[in-house]
């Protein structure tokens, strides 16, 4: 009775907007709930793996891996795990690019290959937009002797000669056989992920093991 009376006092415009506002509130509450649930699951997974966990990168201080292309964009970084892998220091985190319907979130494994000096490069599966971009001068490093790799991946780097030396036939063959990975590197750091793939906490250990295998090919 009171609710009916209260709604009767509201202007028509306000009453028309109430369902819409209710949907927004419900969506926000669901989003916060899902984020909190994933945070807790990621924290539990970190503990099981012997990694430390924190909700975001605040307090980590400047780190070279944050300068890698994906992580240096306008991104939201969360669910940060820190630990050790067989190839060196490891940092695993969720990286969201964009917002709303255009947002992409991927889980990224970063490895510090102590003592290495990798040329800056980006490698990711090639899509139709990349192929169209090549027609307008979008640079892609191809290998005539490895057409399968060149057709499957976009590879870029400021120092093309150094990148070509880095991607010798053994590495090219590895990525021909293990498709789908995106890899970025510079100096001692590598970032390894699959585009728009947010790893389930239950699959996190497997993801880190597979990403470690990829990183090991650069040692």
| Residue 17 pLDDT exceeds 70 | no
E strand spans, the chain: 52-56, 75-85, 88-97, 104-112, 118-125, 153-156, 182-187, 189-193
State pTM to two decimals.
0.85
Q: How far is CA 94 from CA 63, 72, 123, 163, 177, in A?
A: 16, 14, 19, 27, 26
**Which pair of structure tokens corresponds to residue 203?**
């699959």
pLDDT of residue 3: 45
Residue predicted with more confidence, 154 or 15: 154
pLDDT of residue 132: 57
Helix (H, G, I), strand (E, B) or coil at 150: helix
pLDDT of residue 185: 97
Percent of the chain with pLDDT over 70: 78
Per-residue pLDDT, averaged over 79-88, amounts to 95
Strongest mean pLDDT among 58-67, 91-100, 124-133, 176-185: 176-185
pLDDT of residue 35: 85
- Identify the band that residue 6 occupies on the pLDDT scale cut at 50, 70 and 90: very low
140-170 tens-digit pLDDT: 999 999 999 999 999 999 999 999 999 999 9
| In contact, 111 and 212? CB cutoff 8 Å | yes
Give the H or E element holding residue 215.
helix 204-216
| Residue 15 pLDDT exceeds 90 | no
Contacts 24+ apart (CB under 8 A), 154-162: 154/122, 154/123, 154/124, 154/125, 154/126, 154/130, 155/121, 155/122, 155/123, 156/121, 156/122, 156/123, 157/119, 157/120, 157/121, 157/122, 158/119, 158/120, 159/119, 159/120, 162/119
Name the maximum alpha-carbon separation found in the chain.
79
| Neighbour count for residue 188 (Cβ, 10 Å) | 17
Per-residue pLDDT, averaged over 72-87, amounts to 92
pLDDT of residue 18: 62
């Amino acid at each position: 009775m009171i609710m009916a009376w209260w709604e009767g006092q509201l202007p028509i415009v306000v009453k028309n907007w109430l369902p819409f506002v209710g949907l927004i509130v419900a969506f926000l509450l669901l989003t916060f709930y899902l984020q909190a649930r994933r945070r807790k699951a990621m924290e539990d997974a970190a503990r099981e793996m012997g990694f430390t966990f924190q909700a975001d990168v605040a307090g980590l201080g400047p780190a070279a891996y944050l300068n890698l292309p994906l992580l240096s964009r306008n991104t939201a970084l969360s669910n940060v795990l820190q630990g050790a892998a067989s190839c060196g220091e490891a940092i695993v985190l969720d990286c969201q690019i964009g917002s709303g319907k255009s947002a992409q979130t991927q889980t990224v494994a970063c490895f510090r290959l102590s003592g290495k000096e990798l040329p800056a490069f980006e490698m990711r599966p090639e899509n139709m937009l990349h192929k169209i971009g090549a027609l307008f001068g979008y640079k892609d490093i191809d290998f005539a002797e490895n057409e399968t790799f060149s057709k499957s991946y976009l590879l870029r780097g400021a120092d093309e000669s150094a990148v070509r030396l880095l991607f010798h036939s053994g590495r090219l063959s590895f990525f021909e056989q293990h498709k789908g990975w995106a890899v970025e590197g510079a100096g001692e750091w590598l970032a390894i992920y699959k585009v728009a793939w947010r790893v389930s906490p239950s699959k996190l250990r497997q993801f880190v093991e597979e990403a470690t295998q990829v990183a090991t090919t650069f040692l």
